[in-house]
Structure 1
């Protein structure tokens, strides 16, 4: 539609003569996108992008549509005829359009009403049954084509497995993550995941790559590595990080948003190969061998060309030195092609997700380069995305930070800071998380009914002020905030935050119970409340080997309902953030671990092997 209408001179002339045209980047203004997408869904029964709306001067909508052809065809009204119809109606009977917009606004306001309901304990079991019924046992994932990764669904299932010991939940996660990696949705030459698969098998992607998908998927593979201890999951996470740090990271340390699907006007052209191209780069013998491994044929699997994939290669076959070197040769050859456009916006919310992923990667894989990248990104956000008065902003590009940050920005960045604290145990990250969490509540909390609004009390006043907890391609700010509240409560002892999480989830209780599967991250928070997690406090002196061993024993284990705090003699400031921590001392001058459950602590442990057994 961009090429067909918005860049068309005939359409442009009519628009400029009769309308004020406003183009909205939905990633920069998710508040506007969310409100008017709800309008479109209310009016048409469906939504999607491109999204076109016609508004009164008071920003009240009276017509909405998604794709509209330039000229009418096959019973579908064309954009030009709609423009003429709207112009005529506005000139001759504007009261009718104004009245229509008022009716639409009334309906929209009704959809925002929430029925508060205390969530039933068995909601997690109901959700699991929905996932199980929707699971594709042949190709993994849920439902049929198109298939989106939606890694938060997998996070819930791993936690449900951990909580209930239901092996089927973990099997679904493993099947899905294996199938996604084997398919063409993963870039087997340059790494990183595409946005979604157009087919059921995960073979043919929409070739666009999004930062948020790669952050969330890296966490999913790291968690499965913690559980299964199979190196291939660690390697997949490393490959995702390789892509992000190589192609999606600015010199200052911020992470770019996305890479387009198209290059030279063709979707996927940058990523596709013919068998002859492979043989030309690798030689006949090695080329044929490589083609067999990655299912590359003369016929091709996508419009006469090939999407490299591992769907016919057993996963237990480790990558040989030959494959690694051959892939590098092909990667170097691919650098000669015209690159897809890179969206070099730095979005606070998505950077928060990648900070979380890299922090988890740093501690699970024991690799400081991932931790350093997360820390550098935090430094970037602190320097570039805060106003002088401390207000967080949403977007940075070309030296300019703009737009007051939304609930998602705060929630996702706080998540990243919590993960970075639990990786480094540097108190400044916990301090930042607590400060931002206070700002989030101050600016976004609904003091009458509870829950977080999408935009802050200091933001532009739009036709409604919505709240959202539904988890789409990425989790909602409300659901992530609920889990943040719980984790910060456990870490610091600030029990009022646990009460906030409980209140938030109950505000949306009726929605969540109506379709539990659509609220995976909220279900994670519910499981966190239901589970008897551990609080682990480790006291010692900075630099002691036994202290590091103890920390490592905690960090490598998948323990999603536990928290860990480390206190050393050099960290007096941690006692200001966590007052109760001063009660925990080293025993006989040795690094000492305390494991606490239900506010009761076991005997102190001074040996890392014993700690491992107790965990």
Structure 2
């Protein structure tokens, strides 16, 4: 294989996306998505190949090696097609359209995603990963069919385009006027989700298993309202098993994207920022509800991983770490028995026999995974394991910390997985929210420092006026913001206000909300488009409704407007939330597993959201104390002296004491002068 210096680059060489740059020296004449490629296809009357993936995608790398670096296959592609490479993380709008198309063709979606289009961008065929022999045959079949059967292909493409253009409201025949929810309806929704529970290892369904943070947040919110022990038990089972499993990096912290098996044992080793941001939020909230020390450790270690490996000098967070290093999946993270034993000999284990740790992490001589390698996992907390071994738990914990630090230092000497160092606004919003949630629960100053650095980065580098940009790299912002960028950053800013009482963050959130309502809202269907009205016109303008590993931008936006409507007393926002919930209520009730972030909003609406105002010199102390109680369905405003915010206006200090006002539906209880009295008022409402 020729080195890059001996090859001529293709058009991707000028891009900033690490994924596109990975393909810049392929013999395929790749173009980035844009006018040049689309006009070339029309001018030369050639079909288009759109190949979509992302930098941490293992099978994307495999298809590149097998197909796109193959000179003979590249020659067919270059001769008969205009070839476009897309980073799905940069262009989720393009990805969503052609993912819909491939699924409409009866193919189970995934990446790499490969779609064949007419020159007018309408798709007529597609699939995911293709082995080289199959890919070459498909290329030749289409190249031969295009000149002679163009009319039939165009007709097929038109039908797929019409299918793609249907909104979810049309596709699922949604509608309705009822936007309220009852506790009984929440019970029905929980019952639907519970049918998918794995009672042995947690999670929903069988392999592969993805962390689905919004499902477990819904279960926590449902539990808080109903005290249904089954809901909390399943959350704890799932979070325990994930933190024990190979999906969690037992040495360095942080979660991999998913587990290929049903036991959370063997990860697909890429680490994504969006997973880790949300899981920090989830584990922090679960700790607040349960006081399980395992969850605190997961939060601290995961934030440590993000600080160490995904933080840019300016305070932005990078997107992902690859699954592969040295062309081998997971090589950076696994241990042979020989490497393990040598590492154990090099560290002081405080008198605890080395084989105790071999047993704790399930290291075997033959390897517990592929090719004689071991994935570290455990089946108990440090305390429980030490107790079972008859070892002092504090001594074991300290020795384990020394071992982890040593193993981490050894691992740092290995060739690292590829880093996707683009900074995505939406994913940074999720991580920022995670940091703020962790700070609220644990009061750790370094978490707030990281959060403020990131929030100021987003405000400084990824915003122009009230508009956001989606991507940042090498000092340059690119791509107009999508709804997800606004929704997740707004959520984080609202949380940051509630954690600091710095009103600038609330004003930032309000300004973004105003822009979104003006430029994304569809008055007809009462939901938000994924793209700005000023964005590039594609063959369809989509709306995102279903919650997945990342919540749908519409459900996130609805939750934001619910909170802002209360914090800022903007009835219009509350009306928009009503109008958003009404058409999708049918889906929330029937398919809560796929509408789990909506379901959390339903839980907030089934019982009134508490509006808590704290006024006085000890407002910050009161806020910290308040956060030690698990009460998720609330908004909190505070000031040390006075404020013109609606929740704080005309609410002053009584008798020189810091005063707490607990209100529901704009009706307040008597002011109280301690957090515990406020908690009693909150409890009385739902007694």
What is the TM-score normalised by the length of structure 2? 0.84
Matched ranges for 1:100-499 at <5 A: 100-110=156-166, 112=168, 113=170, 114-117=173-176, 118=178, 121=182, 122-283=184-345, 286-303=353-370, 304-311=372-379, 316-317=384-385, 320-387=397-464, 389-499=465-575
| Corresponding position of 1:93 | 149
**1:8-157 → structure 2 map (5 Å cutoff):** 8-71=70-133, 78-110=134-166, 112=168, 113=170, 114-117=173-176, 118=178, 121=182, 122-157=184-219
Hey, what's the Cα distance between the residues in 1 that align with 2:614 and 2:647? 13
Specify the alignment match of 2:606 in structure 1: 530
Give the SS at the match of 1:270.
Answer: coil
Cα 1:8–1:219 change in 2 (3 A) is: same
- Residue by residue over 1:241-288, the C-alpha shift from the partner in whole angstroms, topping out at 9 and shown as x without a partner, is 110111110010000111011111111111111222122122197532
Report the alpha carbon displacement of residue 115 of structure 1 after superposing the two structures with TM. 2.1
SS in 2 for 1:564: strand
Find out whether 1:581 has 2:653 as its counterpart: no
- Aligned partner of 2:667 in structure 1 is 600
Give the length in aligned residue pairs. 599
Q: Cα 1:607–1:100, aligned 2, differ >3 Å: closer, same or farther?
A: closer
Q: 1:82 to 1:242 in 2, by over 3 A?
A: same
2:615 is equivalent to residue 553 of structure 1: no
Q: In the alignment, which residue of structure 2 is the partner of 1:75?
A: none
CA distance in 1, matches of 2:631, 2:341: 47
Aligned counterparts of 2:657 and 2:135: Cα–Cα separation in 1: 75
Q: 1:202 offset after TM fit, Å?
A: 0.7
Find the aligned partners of 2:145 and 2:301 in 1 and give their Cα distance.
56
2-side partners of 1:605 and 1:564: how far apart?
Answer: 15
> 3-state DSSP class of the match of 1:21?
strand
Q: How far is the alpha carbon of 1:111 from its aligned partner? A: 5.6
Query: 2:567 touches 2:647 (CA, 8 Å); kept in 1?
Result: no
Distance of aligned partners of 1:391 and 1:313 in 2 relative to their CA distance in 1, 3 Å threshold:
closer
Deviations 1:122-172 (A, max 9, x none): 442222112211111111111111100111100000000011121110111
On the 8 A contact 1:553/1:611 being kept in 2, the answer is: no
Could you tell me whether the CA contact under 8 Å between 2:469 and 2:477 is conserved in 1?
yes
User: In structure 2, the residue corresponding to 1:250 is in which secondary structure?
Assistant: coil
**SS of aligned partner of 1:590:** coil
Cα pair distance change 1:320/1:513, threshold 3 Å? closer
Q: Which moved more, 1:437-446 or 1:303-312?
A: 303-312
Q: Show CA shifts across 1:454-504 (max 9, x none).
A: 111111111111112101111010011111111111212212211111111
Q: Are the aligned partners of 2:466 and 2:512 in contact in 1 as well (CA < 8 Å)?
A: no
Cα distance change on mapping 1:245 and 1:203 into 2, 3 Å: same
Provide structure 1 residue ranges, at least 5 long, that are not aligned to the other structure.
72-77
The root-mean-square deviation of aligned C-alpha atoms, in Å, is 1.7
TM-score, normalised to structure 1, is 0.94
1:99: Cα distance to partner? 1.4
Q: Deviations over 1:491-521 (max 9, x none)?
A: 1221221111111122333433442221000
Shift of 1:362: 1.1
The 1-side partners of 2:592 and 2:672 are apart by 41
Deviation of 1:414 (Å): 0.5
Distance 1:188 1:516 in 2: 32
Contact 1:185 1:197 in 2 (8 A): yes
Q: Which ranges of structure 2 fall in alignment gaps of 5 or more residues?
A: 1-62, 347-351, 386-392, 683-687
Instruction: Give the conservation status (yes or no) of the 8 Å contact 1:293–1:313.
Output: no
Where 1:140 maps in the other structure, the secondary structure is coil
SS in structure 1 at match of 2:374: coil
- Partner Cα separation in structure 1 for residue 673 and residue 657 of structure 2: 6
In the alignment, is the contact (CA less than 8 A) between 2:197 and 2:204 conserved in 1? yes
Displacement of 1:291 in angstroms is 1.0
Alpha-carbon separation, structure 2, partners of 1:193 and 1:20: 38
Deviation by residue 1:42-89 (Cα, 9 ceiling, x = unmatched)? 012421111111111111111111112221xxxxxx212221222222
The answer (yes or no) to whether the contact 1:349–1:413 under 8 Å persists in 2 is: yes
In structure 2, relative to structure 1, the CA distance for the partners of 1:126 and 1:2 (3 Å cut) is: farther
Distance 2:357 2:557 in 1: 46
CA contact (8 A) 1:278 1:287 kept: no
* Pair 1:580–1:552, CA change in 2 (3 A): closer
Match of 2:51 in 1: none
Structure 2 residue matching 1:53: 3-state secondary structure: strand
Contact kept, 8 Å, 2:619 with 2:640, in 1: the verdict is no
